[in-house]
């Protein structure tokens, strides 16, 4: 009678191969999921044409200094019923009127829900834009259409707003 060979107990080569395949398979699936969400949720840039803006950064600093010399103060308020309201006054507290503003409201992390708006003067030194914003964080960038003597906008404002959940 011949004896049958008993199967070897313990880890064999096929077990090691199967373990490696499962391990790297799980790694590939997890990395694929992370890659998908990374590419679909954020485009990677927060400004258009950053290289050219960097080249003209000194102009941007000079424009901000000129605007600070004007001494104008602004207050930007959002109301669900009234939209955006801008109150602009000079260094003596007198309202600044006669300007036209265009604005963009955008989310801080994406450009998928950007909203453009035009402001019209509602009263002396008060400008309004009919705009409805969803709850959450918004960045409002506002610039006047009128030019200053050096060719830049007469006024520019960038401000974060938080829109609360409506009751």
How far is Cα 98 from Cα 147, in angstroms, rounded to an integer? 13
* Total structural domains within the chain: 2
| 114/156 same-domain check | yes
| 107/153 same-domain check | yes
Question: What's the confidence (pLDDT) of residue 167?
Answer: 52
Average pLDDT on 160-167 reads 81
Q: Which two tokens stand for residue 98?
A: 């006669």
| 65/87 same-domain check | yes
Question: What's the confidence (pLDDT) of residue 138?
Answer: 92
Q: pLDDT band for position 62 (50/70/90)?
A: confident
| 54/19 same-domain check | no
The CATH number given to whatever domain includes residue 126 is 2.60.40.10
| 55/134 same-domain check | yes
Domain membership of residue 133 (yes or no) is yes
Q: pLDDT band for position 98 (50/70/90)?
A: confident
Question: What's the confidence (pLDDT) of residue 131?
Answer: 85
Question: What's the confidence (pLDDT) of residue 20?
Answer: 97
Domain membership of residue 7 (yes or no) is no
Domain membership of residue 5 (yes or no) is no
Cβ density class 79-95: b for 16+ within 10 Å, e for less: eeeebbbbbbbeeeeee
| 26/74 same-domain check | no
Among candidates 94, 98, 108, which has minimal Cα distance to 47?
A: 108
Report which DSSP code applies to 155.
-
| 104/125 same-domain check | yes
Question: What's the confidence (pLDDT) of residue 31?
Answer: 97
Contact present, 79 and 72 (Cβ < 8 Å): no
Q: Taking the CB of residue 138, how many other CB atoms lie within 10 A of it?
A: 22
CA 100 to chain centroid, in Å, comes to: 24
| 34/83 same-domain check | no
| 83/149 same-domain check | yes
| 135/89 same-domain check | yes
Residue 94 has pLDDT above 60, yes or no: yes
pLDDT tens sequence across 102-144: 999 998 877 778 889 898 888 888 899 988 888 889 999 998 8
Q: Which helix (H) or strand (E) holds 127?
A: strand 126-129
Question: What's the confidence (pLDDT) of residue 10?
Answer: 85
Average pLDDT on 5-16 reads 81
Q: Which domain holds residue 28?
A: 13-42
Domain membership of residue 4 (yes or no) is no
| 85/34 same-domain check | no
Domain membership of residue 68 (yes or no) is yes
pLDDT tens sequence across 43-56: 666 677 888 888 98
């Amino acid at each position: 009678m011949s004896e049958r060979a008993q199967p070897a107990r313990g880890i064999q080569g096929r077990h090691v191969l199967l373990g490696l395949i499962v391990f790297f398979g799980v790694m590939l699936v997890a990395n694929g999921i992370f890659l998908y969400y990374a590419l679909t949720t954020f485009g990677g840039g927060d400004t258009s044409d950053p290289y050219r803006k960097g080249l003209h950064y000194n102009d941007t600093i000079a424009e901000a200094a000129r605007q600070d010399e004007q001494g104008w103060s602004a207050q930007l308020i959002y109301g669900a019923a009234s939209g955006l309201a801008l109150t602009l006054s000079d260094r003596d507290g007198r309202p600044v009127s006669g300007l036209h503003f265009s604005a963009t409201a955008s989310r801080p992390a994406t450009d998928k829900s950007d909203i453009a708006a035009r402001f019209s003067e509602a009263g002396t030194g008060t400008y309004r834009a009919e705009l409805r914003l969803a709850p959450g964080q918004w960045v409002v960038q506002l610039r006047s259409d009128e030019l200053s003597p050096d060719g830049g906008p007469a006024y520019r404002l960038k401000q974060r707003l938080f829109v609360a959940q409506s009751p």
